[in-house]
Amino acid sequence: MLRRRVALVVLVITALAGLITAGAWASAVSGATGMMGARGSGAGMMSGHGMMGGGSGGDMMGGYVLPGNDVRVDSLDAARRRAQASADRWGLRVGEVMRFDNGFYAELQTTDGQGASEVLIDQAGGSVRLEFGPAMMWNTSYGMHGGPAATTTRVSRAEAVDIAQRWLNDQRPELSAGDPEQFPGYYTLHTTRGGKISGMMSVNAYTGAVWYHTWHGRYIAMSEG
């Protein structure tokens, strides 16, 4: 009799533990879904152009839009050619190209000169990938989470400059914010020191959030599109 009672108690405890675990799992899934939904309401999720190729995951793995060719990229012209090879796949063209200590940067534009996206070119092997940060996470047409829920941005170009400058005043007072270049869902601005380019930063066109580009290294040179 005692053994049966002990077995029954164990069974009840096991069942209760299972219910608690299931409830916690359901709550976690619900919370994750809620966060995804909240994020989607601001910038949309996986629609529009999506993965730089009409939403096809095969077009870009891990942010890469053009595999390397094992040829070193050692000039702005060479970086432009690699960037254009990637832009050709989506009917885009290359705007400005910049060289930094850590590699090359290029802006991709639509045929009518509007900002489309930003890419990084690896100087060691020639691979091209979406730029870290805003180009991946904020771009509502060509990013990893493309497809805006709202078509009207809430932050104007002038407001973007003001937001960027106030952030710099607080975080990097030796720098000034330049003119903004608009991309789908955000703006990117050069930062300057003493009137000369020093780096880059971005401002979200929906929320006003600031993303300073820490990955470039020292600015070296630039060629216009």
Rounded to an integer, the average pLDDT of 159-170 is 98
Rounded to an integer, the average pLDDT of 76-91 is 96
What are the structure tokens assigned to 216, written together?
A: 């470039």
Q: Is there a contact between 121 and 66 (Cβ–Cβ < 8 Å)?
A: no
pLDDT for 4-34, tens place per residue?
444 444 444 444 444 333 333 233 323 322 2
How do the domains of the chain map onto residue ranges?
Answer: 57-223
pLDDT for 170-218, tens place per residue?
999 999 999 999 999 999 999 999 999 999 999 999 999 999 999 999 9
CA 28 to chain centre: 26
C-alpha closest to that of 90 among 122, 123, 56: 56
Residue 49 has pLDDT above 80, yes or no: no
What are the backbone angles phi and psi of residue 94, rounded to the nearest 5°? -95, 135
C-alpha closest to that of 135 among 191, 187, 196, 190: 187
Tell me which residue has tokens 């002038």: 158
Question: Model-level pTM?
Answer: 0.73
* C-alpha angle 61-144-74 in degrees, rounded to nearest 5: 60
Residue 131 has pLDDT above 80, yes or no: yes
Residue 64 has pLDDT above 80, yes or no: no
Give the Cα separation of 13 and 212 in Å (integer): 52
* C-alpha angle 97-103-106 in degrees, rounded to nearest 5: 25
Stated as kind and residue range, the H or E segment containing 67 is none
* pLDDT for res 202: 98
